[in-house]
Amino acid sequence: MSKKPLILISNDDGITSKGIRTLVEVMAEIGEVVVVAPDSPQSGMGHAITIGNTLRLDRSNQFGDLGVEAYQCSGTPADCVKLAKHHVLHDRRPDLVVSGINHGSNTSVSVLYSGTMSAAIEAALEGLPAIGFSLCDYSHDADFSHVRHWVKEITLKALANGIPEGITLNVNFPPHKAGEVKGLKVCRQARARWQEEFDQRKDPAGRSYFWLVGSFVNMETGDSSDSDEWAIANGYVSLVPCTFDLTAYKTMQQIQGWGL
């Protein structure tokens, strides 16, 4: 590359999170970085956008020590990418959009709920190459040191080889406590779901409210060694190419045969 690539960064854990700090530090070694991230945590927002409320965008000195231009946004991760492309960057087109590093797994069906991945998918909708990075560790003080090499390597490969239009790379890392990373596997999304439960509680005024709890259910049977869940469970980085086209093409002909 003859000049430094322009890299846009966002996330869903907020501009002050440890994960985005790690991502900014790595990306600053590669290119010119601009950050537009939520001013507060937006986990689980999926691809929500702000329609009925105002959006605020303010300069931030969160990464001033790195000389990185940064903005904090009152909206969702998808809002951040939209504002970055159409307002902050104006007519400057980023060479890559990266989101994360998320505090927690975004494997399997979690990609649908993830604000981190929705920021990356929004970039793909805007015609920009994008990667979402997640660490499978929900701890506030999670150790990101072992992912730096992989984040940089994947980013450099993506810049050098290109990401097909409309595709977002969903990259998940095993937690540091799992030991040395064995390598990287290009995977499919595992078949799984969340088993939700709603815990009914009482507030100090005696009024009922609900708190969402539950557990992750892996529905894979037989050999699942090509899935992202298997890769993470066995000490590998998982990389799943994702598309925002949700059409079930194989089912189209079947339904056309219904005679509707």
Enumerate domains of the chain plus CATH numbers.
Answer: 6-188+224-256 (3.40.1210.10)
Instruction: In whole angstroms, give the CA distance from residue 84 to residue 186.
Output: 30
Q: Binding residue per annotation — 110?
A: no
Please report, rounded to a whole number, the percentage of residues in the chain having pLDDT higher than 70: 99
Report the DSSP beta bridge partners of residue 135. Answer: 103, 173
pLDDT tens figures, 199-239: 899 999 999 998 888 777 787 787 889 999 999 999 999 99
Which tokens belong to 184?
């990287």
Q: Binding residue per annotation — 12?
A: yes
Contact 72, 38 (CB under 8 A): yes
Query: According to the model, what pLDDT value does residue 2 have?
Result: 58
* Sheet strands side by side (includes 130-135): 57-60, 69-73, 32-38, 6-10, 96-103, 130-135, 167-173, 236-243, 183-186
Q: What is the DSSP letter of 49?
A: -
- CB hemisphere CA count around 182 (13 angstroms): 10
pLDDT tens figures, 150-208: 999 999 999 999 999 999 999 999 999 999 999 999 999 988 787 778 889 999 999 99
Instruction: In whole angstroms, give the CA distance from residue 94 to residue 6.
Output: 5
Q: Binding residue per annotation — 13?
A: yes
Cα–Cα nearest to 5, from 136, 101, 123, 94: 94
pLDDT tens figures, 53-103: 999 999 999 999 999 999 999 999 999 999 999 999 988 999 999 999 999
End-to-end CA distance of the chain: 54
- The mean of the pLDDT values for the chain is 93
Q: Binding residue per annotation — 17?
A: no
Instruction: In whole angstroms, give the CA distance from residue 147 to residue 154.
Output: 11
Instruction: In whole angstroms, give the CA distance from residue 8 to residue 36.
Output: 7
Q: What is the DSSP letter of 109?
A: G
Q: What is the DSSP letter of 62?
A: T
